[in-house]
Chain A
């Protein structure tokens, strides 16, 4: 006799005949058992397959500027991302500025707050430069740098690797002789176009809005859709989807456009913007990697390496020096 058969006899012979109450009781018990089994399965599965809690932190982290400047009050960008997930305010990052706050508010569904100016002001991108004549080779700035962008040895001159510097200001504090300057990075302008509007300036043609006539599409030797690219010119992601990088800037679409739109010039600007975005992303990724390695190293060998100097350390050091002399 199988399990089902035995249940059948149990239900058919004794329970079902006794009326509605017992019948509905079976229903309740069955549903409870099914529910409990499902809950048990899910509970086991949740324990067996630990959910990756890091994903949301990662999403926040890639949006942070990766300067590792600690102006937010956390040791670096990733710790701040973790704190945001736990509920820390999203307006503590001066390098990211308003754009970052909007981005994070969108991502997390939180209200947009004004930047917390106690933490500092948003400044144009800068890098640290050591006045090499004044450097005494004390090595104090080297462990302070969160991305290992300062090289140097005791009693020897130090130097900043410009490509790796995130402009976090953290090296200014420990320097006993104040020989580090923050220098603004020259912004490469997107407005500087390499090519004049061909033929059209000479003829004084008037530019009209795009009428989506589609004449540019058969003209394009790379089979792109210039009218779509022009339509989405302010949306970098769409431009990537439309394969902007395949444009060879041949200007054939300019020639056929009845509205005299300088299409190629628009695409050049878009390409330049794209290039800058990619540069920024790769810079941030490298800064993050260096910061992670830096933290890892100081965690594993706290005995051989100095901990990251705190604000008061410089004063203490100077006092110690004065006492010695």
Chain B
């Protein structure tokens, strides 16, 4: 249990995927205009990332490694994760129309989210067990969600701020993201 907690805290704060490892920056910038859509995106990513970790672990250890096909890892992961995302979109669309309206475009976007593939590949590199992989994925997703929601909240505050014209739009967002990233460097001392 302490292992799980360590992995969770480590991925959420110390090795935060967005702020420290710089993965998943496209949805971080793209889906954070409004708090509502950020929360939707965060929920979708959490779901997909955790599931993708489990699937990619099974794929790696029960198919690729026995067949000696480690060199096909990236392609195989991409195909399965893409299929998984499409599948979850179909299910959500049919069973949760309201959720689907909120997530809308975001679910297919996760297919090309580098954080999803990145976490799956890092799991392999760090020789995690199935249990560890799932918690690693969950931690990465929670860390991603945290950053997305914090950043969306910051951006909503920005709409009311008096920003000089040259800094408006993407520029001020980059600066804000940079400051957030600096803040997260403070967690590095926590170890793990």
Q: Which residues of A contact B (CB under 8 A)?
A: 4, 7-8, 11, 16, 23, 26-27, 30-31, 34-35, 38-39, 41-42, 45-46, 49-52, 55, 212, 225, 228
Contact = CB atoms under 8 A, between A and B. Distances in A.
Contact of B90 (A8, A27, A38, A45): A45
B68 A11 contact: yes
B66 A8 contact: yes
Given A27-B72, A30-B76, A34-B76, 12 more contacts: A8-B66, A16-B68, A26-B69, A27-B69, A27-B71, A30-B69, A41-B83, A42-B87, A45-B90, A49-B94, A51-B90, A228-B160
Nearest to A16: B68
B91 interface: yes
Contacts of B87: 41-42, 45
A46 B97 contact: no
Given A31-B75, A52-B94, A228-B160, A38 B69 contact: no
Interface of B: 59, 62-64, 66-69, 71-72, 75-76, 79-80, 82-83, 86-87, 90-91, 93-95, 97, 101, 160, 162
Contacts of B59: 34
B93 A51 contact: yes
A4 B62 contact: yes
Contacts, number: 64
Given A4-B62, A27-B69, A38 B97 contact: no
A202 B161 CA distance: 34
Contact of B93 (A27, A52, A212, A225): A52
A31 B79 contact: yes
A297 B121 CA distance: 60
Given A8-B66, A41-B87, A30 B72 contact: yes
A225 B82 CA distance: 44
A59 B111 CA distance: 26
5 contacts: A7-B66, A11-B67, A34-B79, A42-B83, A45-B91
Contacts of A42: 83, 86-87, 90
Contacts of A51: 90, 93-94
B79 A23 contact: no
Contacts of B83: 38-39, 41-42
Given A31-B79, A41-B87, A212-B162, A50 B69 contact: no
A30 B79 contact: no
B93 to A, nearest CB: 6
Contacts of A49: 90-91, 93-95
A150 to B, nearest CB: 36
Contacts of B94: 49-52
Contacts of A228: 160
Contact of A7 (B67, B71, B97): B67
A205 to B, nearest CB: 24
B68 A23 contact: yes
Given A49-B90, A49-B95, A52-B94, A31 B66 contact: no
B90 A225 contact: no
A7 B68 CA distance: 11
B90 A11 contact: no
Nearest to A51: B93
Contacts of B69: 26-27, 30
Ranked 4 nearest A-B pairs via Cβ: A49-B94, A38-B83, A45-B90, A4-B66
